[in-house]
Chains A and B, each alone.
Chain A
């Protein structure tokens, strides 16, 4: 019987399995369960970080208004998510653009630094060259402990930049570091679910920065 609803529990029993119906039903149920977990985590993460979003956005808005710029960085999937965030600031589909860059965008710089001074310094060395007091650094990491990201946050702090860290699990080294001014922790053990919540946190931070800047403009009139 290939259409027994419990067949999916015994995948290797039947290598001649030829009816995908129960597998497809199982996959759909699994997709819904994982999506529900993702929604629930996004909701609890936003709730837990509402005040931090407001205070970090206020400081970022103050810096952008004073000519500050944003640098984002991370590794792997976190690199792509922080690049999406930098793009959202610099080329927003709606609203005013703000100066923002991802430090992973240039392969020549990444490979030159990785090869010559080591991967641990690929972000920090770029901040030594570009970062100034009044600027902002946003680091994304699921572990909250990546060595090159920690080194860059330390360098950013030393230069008078405002430092924001996105972490998962229990916050890792970000949560304990004096180099992180605002630490957003997504409390989950799943790298996938952490990244989904971090993407939404970043989006909400961007929205809040613009809300703050609009408020300042009204007050200045």
Chain B
């Protein structure tokens, strides 16, 4: 058992790209918190990281910094617990490898739940777009999660998020798309998660805008938990799901 991984771990500074990713992620977190978000942390396989993130934000080590709503979700049924916990505008921070089936499912479904996602990990990187923000160490050594590198990441997220709170003018919500014929949304449709099986060609679907009743005649039959692309009140196609529902 060599110590190559730790040599990398000690000498690994932050390159400019990673520093910019951390800056952008912290700015997003601050905007979401300012708008009332709760942050949910998950880390299947390395659950203490989820717990550390939550305690960091809810009980700051620096006296006088505000407590922010942050909750760790641990245990076997991560997807189900995140689904029932999150509200539109919330944040999910995951710590895991790119191949973790539960995290992949949460990341995908977060678009239907209207949730902003941050994914921290190491090894093979998730495909761009699988999360809103990806903070990654390329080192493939499976022991990296125990070397403190992720701890540095979420410490920096906490420190920088609080810097952003000193800039209230930048944290105001703007350009929120609620228009049904918005050019940004209309071409692609929006992701929806079926809440209940179809009845009479209609189904109740959860999207980032809330619960909608949509026509499912193009894709019937559909069952609870399945993912659909919703456009103008109609489910226009199914979306292939990540492994775990």
Interface of A toward B, CB cutoff 8 Å:
8, 11-12, 14-20, 23-32, 34-36, 38-39, 42-43, 46, 76-77, 79-81, 83-85, 87-88, 92-95, 142, 191-192, 195-200, 202-204, 206-207, 210-211, 214
CA distance A94 to B11 in the complex (A): 22
A23 pairs with B49, CB closer than 8 A: no
**Most chain-B Cβ atoms within 10 A of its Cβ — which of A14, A31, A198, A203?**
A31
List B contacts of A196 (CB < 8 A): 148, 151-152, 155
List A contacts of B56 (CB < 8 A): 77
B167 pairs with A81, CB closer than 8 A: no
Q: Which candidate, B32-40, B139-147, B186-194, B205-213, is the interface stretch facing chain A?
A: B139-147
A28-B19, A77-B61, A192-B61 given as contacts; is B12 within 8 A of A39 (CB)?
A: yes
**Most chain-A Cβ atoms within 10 A of its Cβ — which of B11, B19, B59?**
B19
B76 at the interface (CB under 8 A from A): no
* Interface residue from B10, B20, B59, B164 paired with A46 (Cβ < 8 Å): B10
A207 pairs with B22, CB closer than 8 A: no
Chain B contact-residue range equals 35 or more
**Closest CB in chain B relative to A213 CB, distance in Å:** 10
B14 pairs with A35, CB closer than 8 A: yes
Q: In the complex, how many residue pairs between chain A and chain B have their CB atoms under 8 Å apart?
A: 153
List A contacts of B151 (CB < 8 A): 81, 195-196, 199
B67 at the interface (CB under 8 A from A): no
Since A81-B151, A94-B142, A203-B147 are in contact, a sample of 19 more A-B pairs with Cβ atoms closer than 8 Å, ordered by chain A residue number, is: A23-B164, A24-B20, A27-B22, A27-B164, A31-B160, A35-B19, A35-B152, A46-B10, A77-B52, A80-B52, A84-B48, A88-B146, A95-B1, A192-B158, A196-B151, A198-B148, A206-B146, A207-B6, A211-B1
B170 pairs with A34, CB closer than 8 A: no
